[in-house]
Structure 1
Amino acid sequence: MGDGTCRDREDGSHGDHWQIASIGRRRKTAFVTTIAHQLARHREDLQTAISTAVEKNPDVFEKNLHVQMETLVLSPLREVVRQSNEPGLRGAIIIDGLDECEAEQYHDTTSSGTRSKPARENAEDQLDILQVLQTASSDPSFPFRILIASRPERVFREFFDPGNNPTPFAHKLDLNEDYNANDDINLFLEAQFNLLRRRYQLPASWPPPGAIQTLVKNASGQFIYAATIIRFLEAGHREPPKALLDAILKIGSKLNSNPLKQLDILYTHILESSPDPPPFSTVDLGY
């Protein structure tokens, strides 16, 4: 079963993701089981229904994704809705980095030993996942919206092309065309600094005027830059957040046209300011 994170919010939404650092968990075999695991964690009645489904179908983990989705997710959802007087589930399942899903490679065992089948393309397994999500989203028992974040590889472009899907069910947001990342980064930083002010009882004048605008500019549309700064300020270093931010603003004044260089500078500063900095070497990110 793949590692996933389920962030329960007041509106009942969830965030599901693979831990892609482990090769075994960025393959499709962990996909449906991860969703089922998170649903089981969210509600006790779903946990019971999913456990019962596994007991009745112990070989379900060897089945294809469509069988797993029906057995581990859709059928338990129907059972819970049928028996429960509580409001139905709602929210969203967020799948990040689907383009990083790697194809399973299968083998035939013969009398002469192990013989590999022709190598599968990553796109084949990615398409399997898209198709099972389409099936789930069209089922009345499935109450969640699905948010997929991915690079626009061919398999995704073709799958979501209205000409290839006679019954459109998806809305595409192209971050390169329609999305202004700076606005969201600015909003994110304002909200996070507000939380930091309250947590550390900092004055309303912090961060100083223009600081957020400078950080947004340095981020160059890279959300990870802003998120890394906030994690650094929250990490509980020996320095207070005010001093840490001042240091970040100081190194950020060395503006560079390449946003990856800014990110590299930020990571280097964080490593060097660690209470026990390990020896490390700098690796250029292809400038």
Structure 2
Amino acid sequence: MGSLCDIVLNELGFSSRLAAFVRFDRNDFNDPRLFVLALAHRLASFDRRLGEAIIDVVQRTPNITETQKLSQQLESLVLGPLNKYRNEMQGEGPIVIVIDGLDECMQNNRDSFSELLQLFTDDHFFAPFPHVRVIIASRPEYAIKKAFIKDQHILHFPLDITSRETQADVKLFLKHKLSAKITNFDNVVSESNLETLARRASGLFIWARVTIDFIAGDPEKRLSDVVAGDPPTNALHALTILYRSALDCIAEDEDTKADLRVTLGVI
């Protein structure tokens, strides 16, 4: 998901057609109630005309984000300004809005998240703006799939995490990050090691990220432990093997292992 959005950002940003990029993150930006405000801010930065129209709305209704529903905020702060300059902007080419990690804001406020989904499932919101393209990247969580699956105006593009392209992306990510963390990288990590690690990731960048931090703690020994283990049968199995290897490395005696089992059992 990250790689896809990075490609879109780099290419569209370079050609000045990326109007807004909003990335949800479960730790830093996970409140669906802030979405429209963030989107309006990005659009205001993208185009001076939109910025002036949005400022005008805020000046007339300073408490708009506190008193109105997301749909009303969208109408006032985003769709209104877009409509004001619709004819002009249509002639300038399509503009793109990218929303990344939609699933990352599911748990913060369920009611607001449902309201956020409606902004995309109700086609009347963006229907008057055929020059506006909205790209949403997300894990296929049930609530999101259920909301989007029935809408004809939403084009679904599932990503195959087992594809060669994904494996190549994971390998590149591993090489880039490990080379920055391991001083004598070329002498420690071989091309064969990278191939093995990329296969074992099973398409999961989170596996690669955790593995990088794990190996960096003791490169030669831990790299050997990871590549020598049993190959995973699927993505979940890949994570299970990785975490088990990490725990085995830090818990070398039975007393420590027993303490870890008690602690993890409580969690």
Please tell me the TM-score bracket, short chain as reference: 0.5 to 0.7
Matched, 1:59 2:59: no
Deviation at 1:103, TM superposition (A): 6.5
Deviation at 1:188, TM superposition (A): 1.1
Q: How does 1:68-87 map to 2 (within 5 A)?
A: 68-82=73-87, 87=92
1: CA distance, partners of 2:36 / 2:46: 15
Q: How does 1:209-228 map to 2 (within 5 A)?
A: 209-228=191-210
For the 8 Å contact 2:171–2:195, the answer to whether it is kept is no
SS of 2:22's equivalent? Answer: coil
SS of 2:10's equivalent? Answer: coil
- Indicate the percent of aligned positions where both proteins have the same amino acid: 17
Unaligned 5+ runs, structure 2: 251-259
For the 8 Å contact 2:25–2:104, the answer to whether it is kept is no
| Change in 2 beyond 3 A, CA 1:219/1:91 | same
Q: How does 1:152-163 map to 2 (within 5 A)?
A: 152-153=141-142, 155-162=143-150
**2:224 aligned residue:** 250
2: CA distance, partners of 1:17 / 1:11: 16
2: CA distance, partners of 1:190 / 1:128: 38
1: CA distance, partners of 2:104 / 2:198: 27
Deviation at 1:170, TM superposition (A): 1.8
**1:114 aligned residue:** none
Higher helix share: 2
SS of 2:59's equivalent? Answer: helix
| Change in 2 beyond 3 A, CA 1:185/1:130 | same
Matched, 1:150 2:150: no
2: CA distance, partners of 1:53 / 1:221: 45
Matched, 1:19 2:25: yes
2: CA distance, partners of 1:131 / 1:156: 11
Matched, 1:133 2:120: yes
Q: How does 1:107-126 map to 2 (within 5 A)?
A: 122=110, 124-126=111-113
2: CA distance, partners of 1:49 / 1:96: 28
Q: Per chain length, whose mean CA-contact separation is higher, i.e. which structure has more relative contact order (CA < 8 Å, sep 6+)?
A: 2
Deviation at 1:231, TM superposition (A): 7.8
Task: Tell me how many residue pairs correspond in the alignment.
Answer: 239
For the 8 Å contact 2:178–2:185, the answer to whether it is kept is yes
1: CA distance, partners of 2:112 / 2:87: 33
For the 8 Å contact 1:97–1:151, the answer to whether it is kept is no
Normalising by structure 1, what TM-score? 0.61
2: CA distance, partners of 1:223 / 1:249: 17
Deviation at 1:148, TM superposition (A): 3.8
Normalising by structure 2, what TM-score? 0.65
Matched, 1:260 2:265: no
2: CA distance, partners of 1:203 / 1:99: 34
SS of 2:23's equivalent? Answer: coil
1: CA distance, partners of 2:116 / 2:78: 14
Unaligned 5+ runs, structure 1: 105-121, 272-280
CA-atom RMSD in angstroms: 4.6
